[in-house]
Structure 1
């Protein structure tokens, strides 16, 4: 079944709510958990599901994402066996516009899909965190004789207005679809829960092409799957909802849209807990990524009687090449090639690759992007008003974010490097 399936991954979103982390990279390329990028979760799901033909549609700031795909993923696919992962930038082969919506992104790339002659097309968003076997969903789609199948997640009604919300019958046939409704319709069995779209779709190819071509000529359409294609298809076609089956093997189903800085921070901080909701250590459903050729992490200075100068990390993730040279780290994620110098303290924070923390510096509840150097004796995250006055991004919860390329001057100001 999966050999007749082609997957299209939408990875072109701006990710503006994650600014400044998305100033130089697309949202799917944002690092997470120290050793991964957001896109790695969807791509790992594809590989673990037996999907071997993928088109990755990019648009904004795609260079970092393109480089990561070449480094981390190209070796898993053999072109001679008909396997591939192709990064497809906007071609403007149909008109002069960039992608106008999710449906338009696929429509503008029909020319790249047709030569593969797939029976089914799986459409995925490249910026969500979850574990799922797409083969089960494709098999469900085939057995039902469906035209469209939508991945469905049960969510509290209080949170459902940020999703597409579905109503189904006992056979999972879709009866209604509301895109981000102000008053979501609850499920039939629980007035406090709703059935939300996960942005995961399986289409029968001929049906999809017909509907995309119809939608492209509609001047009133947003050219979006959730707003246009699916609601219209319910009226005259076989549209089903597929209940999310979580491969994470935890009590509660795990699916996250890390679309804001605070949501992104919380998802990372969960990973350093004793029993994280997202299991990265599952050999049965591995999450793959690029592993740079770097030495293992190193902790130095820890002799008795010098407890204030001790390279220590507790409840933390420490990546390759990092050196804790007499610094203290707790409840944090330290990226590759970082250096925490003597007497420095890093708490409840996320450091991307190549960050240097100077002696006696103190960092708390911060996200520091790649290559930033924190001068000695600098404090970040202890006084939100002072951090904001420096020009740093401070969220309503007090989380401090330092962008890539920002120059930190001790006790003074922040300016962007040219």
Structure 2
């Protein structure tokens, strides 16, 4: 039996205000992650590994670096009609930008009409996870649902932090979809858990077209996929849930299977990096059977130089990218992105340094996220004096210092 035709739409238009200052000059899906990647590389890799190779990326806010990354990195052979293409807001329905994720789909219905797919996969662009979407599509086909919603199990006590999916007696049909409820009930097979929406959906094409057109005429709607389209389809009785715990990705281990992180806050972004650097990482970037793809600049291998007391370049429990030079500096429990340079005596600990950061002689960096091309001068201290750091930088509730890109920090 022939596989159905599937078009993938990646929603990448969010502002990412809670990630400021990392999103001061870029869209949230373009934020660097894990040394080598951008956030959007994870969803695109999942789709590409599954063989879904007709992908449109709907962009809007501060999208230049995102558009450039997708266009440069995600080139595919057009011989078989494959493509990954950024689609900026085009004001196709008048002089207005996208009013929400559902409106973004409405304004790009021409993409669906051009491809005429049987089903449309609509995924978010800024989560860290591995998933084989074919398994979700297979359940969707078997069920005959109008929409299938991917869900991850979370503790009942955290229900007020998620969009919660409530199911009927069969455990699969969706009876309600509520945003951050305070009175959620547990699952029938796990009373201490709830289904939290992952922001990933599979739609029957006709159902999607009909519902976005219907929603566009609703003056009370915020035109959001999760907030408006899904509740309407739940009320129509055509929504089902897909349990992410059932997804099996080639090469995954018991430790990293089912990992999913919404890095919507600076603390979550930092914690997701810390998940990468343990001896047996909670999220394993080294799974070659389901790789995470990205573009690679022509940089040389990382280099560790000097081996003298007080002048020794080394890194422990860390991830080190190409082009990094530890010139007598040290890194512990940190992620160093391409072309980072640590000078003699520099000490970086529990931190994330993005591309091109330079840490001067004797400088100390602790518990920090430092964006691209920042210069930390000789002898400077970050993460040592909380009161002083709050005067100079963004500091998260957990105490992570965050420095905006291209800054030259006073000594």
TM-score (norm 1): 0.94
Q: Where does 1:93-242 land on structure 2 (aligned, <5 Å)? A: 93-168=92-167, 169-170=169-170, 172-242=172-242
Partner of 2:269: 264
The CA distance in 2 between the partners of 1:229 and 1:69, in whole Å, is: 28
Partner of 1:316: 318
The CA distance in 1 between the partners of 2:156 and 2:3, in whole Å, is: 34
1:366 aligns with 2:371: no
Partner of 2:278: 273
Offset from partner CA, 1:238-280 (integer Å, 9 cap, x none): 2111111152433462110001111100110111111111011
Secondary structure class of the residue paired with 2:297: coil
1:171 deviates by: 5.5
Secondary structure class of the residue paired with 2:286: coil
Mean alpha-carbon deviation: is it higher for 339-348 or for 93-102? 93-102
Secondary structure class of the residue paired with 1:277: coil
Q: Is the 8 A contact 1:166 1:174 kept in 2?
A: yes
1:72 aligns with 2:73: yes
Secondary structure class of the residue paired with 1:155: strand
Q: Is the 8 A contact 1:310 1:328 kept in 2?
A: yes
1:70 deviates by: 2.0
Offset from partner CA, 1:49-94 (integer Å, 9 cap, x none): 11010010001111111111122211xx222311111100001111
- In structure 2, relative to structure 1, the CA distance for the partners of 1:372 and 1:152 (3 Å cut) is same
Q: Is the 8 A contact 1:363 1:379 kept in 2?
A: yes
Match of 2:297 among 281, 292, 301: 292
1:104 deviates by: 1.2
Partner of 1:249: 253
The CA distance in 2 between the partners of 1:147 and 1:249, in whole Å, is: 32
Unaligned runs of 5+ in 2: none
Q: Where does 1:350-389 land on structure 2 (aligned, <5 Å)? A: 350-389=352-391
1:283 aligns with 2:285: no
Secondary structure class of the residue paired with 1:24: coil
Secondary structure class of the residue paired with 1:406: coil
The CA distance in 2 between the partners of 1:128 and 1:358, in whole Å, is: 33
Offset from partner CA, 1:14-62 (integer Å, 9 cap, x none): 1111111111111111111101111111010001111010010001111
The CA distance in 1 between the partners of 2:404 and 2:42, in whole Å, is: 24
Offset from partner CA, 1:372-403 (integer Å, 9 cap, x none): 111101111101111122x2111222211110
